[in-house]
Structure 1
Amino acid sequence: MKSAMNYSCLLCILVLLPALCHCQDPFTPSRATYYGSPYCYGTPTGACGYGEYGRTIDGYVTGVSRLYRNGSGCGACYQVRCTEPQCTGEGAYVVVTDYGEGDRTDFILSTRSYAKMAKPDDYQTKQLFAYGVVEVEFRRVPCRYPGQNLLVSVSEHSRNPSYLAIILLYVAGTNDVTAAEYWQDDYQGWKRMRRAYGAMFDTQTPPRGDLYLRFQVGGSWVQPKRAFPADWKAGAVYDSQVQLN
């Protein structure tokens, strides 16, 4: 009996070991450069539609090219580390807020993010900036916003009741937001919103009355715990009271 138990334990270890070893994505080689923005936040008029969102996450943002994926890549988080002698092994953790193409680069980092890849020494940081473009390696990592719920930001271009455009902020985890829908009471069903561009979803036929929304995050639908008010306003930000992992 003891030998059988030992064999079972060994079998469990052998089965679980590959899963434990692959719990994080491997790094992918690429190249990165940086924005020339003096404010270190990238561009507030970026292709994801986030506006000044970069300021709320301390400016650790990036524009991407092929990782943009027609806007579904907006809000994704990556660990990016360079491979020059001036670089740390940890690199920078960044959030995608824009689209941008450089010299065969996947990332155009804010200057704050680019500096974060360097060793904590002014001389090393200046040397890294002098390269302009550096070889990097990256991997997708979960976005983490401790204590922060998923927020629904109503675009300032919205006009109640004829046009509604929304953007989701603080999307945690590693799943993309692939769709948004609203409840249409007159035919008792959900209607798909259009991906206008980047992370922005819109409709020219928003429902009358309270606004019920749901979002497809990864393979699951996420619905705020309560409806948003019928008199929703352009520029307002509403708390979904839902936290994502």
Structure 2
Amino acid sequence: MIQNTIPMCSSQYERMFNTSRIPGIETDTIQHMKDSRHIVVYHKGCYFKVWLYHDGRLLKLREIEQQMQRILDDSSEPQAGEEKLAALTAGDRVPWAKARQAYFGHGKNKQSLDAVEKAAFFVTLDETEQGYRKEDPVTSMDTYAKSLLHGSCYDRWFDKTFTLVVFKNGKMGLNTEHSWADAPIVGHLWEDMGKFCLTYGASMTRLFREGRTETVRSCTTESCNYVQAMEDPTQNDSHRFGKNIKQAMVDIIALFGVGMNSTK
């Protein structure tokens, strides 16, 4: 809802969980399960299926914590082909589609792949430490971003709607597959988790059925003037907003489907 008055299409939220992108020879498809009662956790090259329910009830936080601790304490070595399996989801789609048809169509391989693709979401317990370091802010944030973006290219499942990445020092973030929804939807998920989320300039067009986003060219002369006016203590609110109404209108017209990328 916009200001609790105008309804917006919420179809994208349904695909946030229990969803995977399935590779195809000609085109990929989106597989969405009505419900899922487990997640898949990756740690030190091994995959773990973690149940979230027991006897019909959602597990308590301490029960989930106990399972995570068992995974961290597990000293098992990856089985043959297990450690770098997710690299298939990071490469070209056709080879992955062919490999999926040839090697994951039956037996234990199919069961294992089903466990990943039908999971609520994917979790990576990353062995590296990431985050902002005051003594080296540029390199630390660059490394942090790259780790969330691609990791080692085999320790995130890039076909899941999102991989929740938890680093050894407690920092965390999301790696998100983009075909199922737009960035603001994921941003709302992250906000619900109590974290601030940066995203690109986009205006949601969910006033329309199945609406996605319209690009907002946020870096304009008007937006620069607006920021400068907001930081200028000599300006009053009337002057700040009155002179910069054009920038506000850019967001509004994009919301109604007549923004920068609209088809005329």
Q: Which structure dedicates a bigger proportion of its chain to helix?
A: 2
Query: What range describes the TM-score normalised by the shorter chain of this pair?
Result: under 0.3
Q: Which structure dedicates a bigger proportion of its chain to strand?
A: 1
